[in-house]
Structure 1
Amino acid sequence: MYLTRVAVTARQGELHMVPVWRSLLHFGVKAQEWGVNIDAQEKQESLHLDLMCKDELEPEQLRAELRASVPTALSVEISRPPSVVVG
């Protein structure tokens, strides 16, 4: 399994968590850590997740699913640190 980092950003009041979690359940990933940031000055909210994913999960698949679940998202960022692999 691989660590995958996800950040979903939307305008304040438009980041709905339930659709995000439903999308993640669809892929069978496990959340390791997560957090929510609110930038009142920029009027944005961000959900940051560290996920354990199967190696065949393509970042573009995940990005497309999250984009579909949160159409108001300003950005969906996905990264996979190269050195983090769990047996």
Structure 2
Amino acid sequence: MRLPIVYGYREHVVDGGLIGYGIDLRECFRCSAVYVHKILTGTAPGDLPVEFPTKLELIINLKTAKTLGLTIPPSLLARADEVIE
């Protein structure tokens, strides 16, 4: 089946998906490590603020687009955080 799909994670696009738009999981894991460090050094978990990811990534796989016979507009390519060729 050759369906263009927009994924929520970069890893799916690296593995052959067309477009990914979502949070950077590596950054979320880094922030989690900071929280764990604070808790292990004595900060009460209830004293830590709740934080949500604020940066979204746009990743485009041009190889997949070519395989599907799709042309990605230059304006979308210019906005992408990463283009896989």
Global fold match (TM > 0.5): no
Higher normalized contact order (CA 8 Å, seq sep 6+, divided by chain length): 1
TM-score (norm 1): 0.25
TM-score where L is the length of structure 2? 0.26
Whichever structure has more helix as a proportion of its residues is 2
Question: Which protein has the bigger strand share?
Answer: 1
